[in-house]
Structure 1
């Protein structure tokens, strides 16, 4: 049984110009100990899909699906209080902008303590020790001193490590990483990716990696879902995707990689005309 199984997820928003369908009948699944990459350019519905699964979209969003099953339960139909007990504990998310995602008014130690207080039975001293342990696990120096630091007193890379510590605080079964290295320099990006992969392997979690970076996909993923304009265009294991892409959009993505340049100018997605129908090949 899949850890998370999504069937025909659709997300719509009401706008001044009418209804915007940000996610269009997307189906995907991820298993225990598996890394699934969701890849596509900005605006393809990657983050919105996972925010819908987490229940973190505004109430004005219309979310429908045949089913969104996590650990055998259809979480879209759970009462809000019961869903909140799952989100943050068994299913956790690392967001794109670590500095913006942390509350500037509270110390990072307090913010992790709140997560532990909500989802565990640890007492105050045990929660403090657990927070220090988490900071050490994600490579924050002087872990005990960091408990009293505010987000603005830390670098982007350090804030991202705090976000990872918060996400893994309750040993989730599924970790969703939404562009976890976007705002970081190249050296820190490598450190964060290595950290995520090592934590995922050590704890045996399922992980969904949302990215537009095909290099990240090649290095971290077992299986890949390609999205464009809210649709799933292709799904394949990572080796098959790179060696034998099926959809025209995936081929265009790969052709835009610098290492695949064949002339003086790289192809761009502006030059690409999407096929009318998405790829519907059988899942490997």
Structure 2
């Protein structure tokens, strides 16, 4: 059953040179218990599209879609109160820059506890115990002592773990992970990915993995959407995408992987992509 459905999503920003279209007619869907990877280089509109779903784009953005629905609920017509009830509880997002996303004026214990108070009705000892449990689940050492820490007292990787703990606090039905392993070393990256996949399997939640790492795609995804310049180039199940990519841009991405390099120098995405973006293959 479809959990998130998007048809013809377009996001534009006003600039000094006129409107800039960051997302151009994207269609995608995520089913319950499915992992969808959205892959593409920086600037391809991956994050912007999902921020539109969350309702977190600035007023300068113009968002249009033929349909943008979560579990049948129209995200374009819901009231601010309805959105506040859904975002953080039913739909959660792990942001790419955790230090910028956390409030520097409040402790991490308070910030995770706020999610639990607002969406789970937990307070006092119950909230504190759940917060410690979440921090331990994402592998943050000395979780009890970290409750009183401020974001600037933690490393980038530790702040990323805090963001993941906040996102999974209410066992959301849809989790959007925007480069969730940024700033983490290779060993911790594996632990975080394993954690996300375990939580996804245990709770049957839909998971959108935004990434430029094809290794993460191969390890986690059921289905893949490839984006370039705001447009969808290709959509396929993960096995088909790696074995028989149809779009030239997808083939260029895969050929740039180190294991596919023919010589000492890695191939680059060629100039044939400098023209019109093309379309879905």
TM norm. shorter chain > 0.5 = yes
Contact 1:252 / 1:272 at 8 angstroms: preserved in 2?
no
Q: What is the CA distance between 1:220 and its match in structure 2?
A: 0.7
Corresponding residue for 1:128?
128
Task: Look up the SS of the partner of 1:269 in the other structure.
Answer: coil
Q: Give 1:135-154 correspondences, 5 Å limit.
A: 135-154=135-154
Contact 1:248 / 1:274 at 8 angstroms: preserved in 2?
no
Q: Give 1:50-199 correspondences, 5 Å limit.
A: 50-199=50-199
Give the alignment's Cα RMSD to 1 decimal. 1.4
Deviations 1:35-67, CA, capped at 9 Å, x for gaps: 100000000000000000000000110000011
Task: Look up the SS of the partner of 1:159 in the other structure.
Answer: helix
Q: What is the CA distance between 1:237 and its match in structure 2?
A: 0.3
Unaligned segments of structure 1, at least 5 residues: none
Deviations 1:172-209, CA, capped at 9 Å, x for gaps: 00000001122222232222222212221222111000
Q: What is the CA distance between 1:272 and its match in structure 2?
A: 4.2
Task: Look up the SS of the partner of 1:20 in the other structure.
Answer: strand
259-268 vs 185-194, greater mean Cα deviation = 185-194
Contact 1:7 / 1:26 at 8 angstroms: preserved in 2?
yes
Corresponding residue for 2:232?
232
Task: Look up the SS of the partner of 1:76 in the other structure.
Answer: coil
CA distance in structure 1 between the aligned counterparts of 2:270 and 2:159, rounded to whole angstroms: 34
Unaligned segments of structure 2, at least 5 residues: none
Q: What is the CA distance between 1:217 and its match in structure 2?
A: 0.4
Q: What is the CA distance between 1:255 and its match in structure 2?
A: 0.7
264-273 vs 198-207, greater mean Cα deviation = 264-273
Contact 1:97 / 1:183 at 8 angstroms: preserved in 2?
no
Q: What is the CA distance between 1:150 and its match in structure 2?
A: 1.2
Q: What is the CA distance between 1:165 and its match in structure 2?
A: 0.7
TM-score normalised by structure 1 residue count: 0.95
Corresponding residue for 1:251?
251
Q: Give 1:259-270 correspondences, 5 Å limit.
A: 259-269=259-269
CA distance in structure 1 between the aligned counterparts of 2:112 and 2:266, rounded to whole angstroms: 44
Task: Look up the SS of the partner of 1:130 in the other structure.
Answer: helix
